[in-house]
Amino acid sequence: MRLDLTGRAFVVCGASRGLGRATAEELVGHGARVLLVARRPEEAAAALGDAAIALPADLTAPDAARDVAQAVRESFGARLDGVLVNGAGPPSGRALEYSDAQWAGAFELLLGAPIRLLRELTPMLAGGGSVVFVTSSSVRQPIDGLDTSNVLRPAVAALAKVLARELGPAIRVNSLAPGRFDTDRVRELDSERAERGEGDVEAVRRRAAAGIPLARYGDPREYARVAAFLLSDAASYVTGTALLVDGGAVTAIP
Ligand SMILES: NC(=O)c1ccc[n+]([C@@H]2O[C@H](COP(=O)([O-])OP(=O)(O)OC[C@H]3O[C@@H](n4cnc5c(N)ncnc54)[C@H](OP(=O)(O)O)[C@@H]3O)[C@@H](O)[C@H]2O)c1
């Protein structure tokens, strides 16, 4: 199967590092043009050449969604084919120990900002397009000590399901749940575990990998290939799905 994305235009959020950057690289590799949104996307965009445009923006800022829409109009003439909804992960912690402000901040990050973004961008996808939400394996199985994610990521998967019903048939909407990929975010979480006394970082990592049937952390490019598939016409009959890319880590059935 070849994904020919020549002439297609995408917005990739959280595109300066990790899963977002790998997805932007994958899309450009298939011929697409990509608007890379992050607080500091310049270096990632420059590495991708003319097909990539950097938009420095803090997606949690009130005007960010309008700025992204304006950049799409200026860069692509309002023709948009897909959006990867992605950004920082929420802080680790336990449900009853977060402050109200931390809960509100996690809601803003995972639901408020994406909803504002899609209000602005979905009209530009009305000719046919695809939205992919980056979630987490916590949509299927809680992760110890990551309770805002455990509670709110399933809500993001529900949002994707609801939007698939409300925006179809023109727009497909899916969520794509990573397990453990080798990115800054996962390295930070592993360091926090080590600091909490769970052994050194290598021991934390070895134990985590041992719980994964494929016995290793994923390479962000392995996530990006699935994201690019969902964003492309190759996935033309796939919508409302919450797909795991986790090396088999989640044990729930199905
Ligand atoms: N990696 C995994 O295995 C894994 C597993 C489960 C869930 N996830 C979730 O998947 C998402 C991506 O993960 P990742 O590992 O790629 O994370 P990452 O390495 O921390 O990268 C996050 C990206 O989001 C951008 N970003 C952060 N805050 C932003 C803001 N306020 N406005 C705009 N952009 C912002 C960052 O760029 P700037 O700093 O330049 O803004 C960066 O490009 C996260 O939500 C994470 O929690 C990841």
| Domain membership of residue 71 as a residue range | 9-181+219-245
Q: Same structural domain for residues 210 and 120?
A: no
Let me know whether 133 and 204 are in one domain: no
For residue 210, give both structure tokens.
């041992």
User: Could you give the CA distance from residue 202 to residue 136 in angstroms, rounded to a whole number?
Assistant: 22
Cα(186) to ligand 1 centroid in Å equals: 10
Looking at the chain, the whole-number percentage of residues with pLDDT higher than 90 is 96
69: CA distance to ligand 1 center in Å?
21
Q: How many CB atoms lie within 10 A of CB 156?
A: 23
119 lies in some domain = yes
d(CA 89, ligand 1 centre) in Å = 6
pLDDT tens column, 159-210: 999 999 999 999 999 999 999 999 999 999 999 999 998 889 999 999 999 9
For the Cβ of 134 lying below 6 angstroms from any atom of ligand 1, the answer is yes
Look at residue 42 in the predicted model and tell me its pLDDT. Answer: 98
Ligand 1 center–CA 40 separation, angstroms: 12
Q: Which residue has the tokens 């931390």?
A: 102
Is a pLDDT exceeding 80 seen at residue 53?
yes
Instruction: Please say if the pLDDT value at position 241 is more than 90.
Output: yes
Say if 252 falls within a structural domain: no
CATH code, 240:
3.40.50.720
pLDDT of 1 above 90: no
Over residues 38-51, the pLDDT tens digits come to 999 999 999 999 99
Name the DSSP letter for residue 108. Answer: I
Cβ(16) to ligand 1 under 6 A?
yes
Same domain, yes or no, for 94 and 208? no
In a domain, 1, yes or no: no
Q: Whose CA is nearest to atom 23 of ligand 1?
A: 14
The verdict on 59 and 154 lying in the same domain is: yes
Amino acid (1-letter code) at residue 85: V
Q: Give dist(CA 216, CA 207) in Å, integer.
A: 10
Q: Are residues 95 and 75 in the same domain?
A: yes
User: Which protein residue's CA is at the shortest distance from atom 20 of ligand 1?
Assistant: 185
Please report the sign of the dihedral spanned by the C-alpha atoms of residue 235, residue 157, residue 186, residue 188: positive
Judgement on whether residues 54 and 165 belong to the same structural domain of the protein: yes
Domain count, the chain: 2
Roughly what angle, to the nearest 10 degrees, separates helices 220-231 and 18-29? 60
Q: Does residue 155 lie in a domain region?
A: yes
Altogether, the residues listed in the chain come to a count of 254
Assess whether pLDDT exceeds 90 at residue 2: no
Report the candidate in 104, 86, 120 with the shortest Cα–Cα distance to residue 15. 86
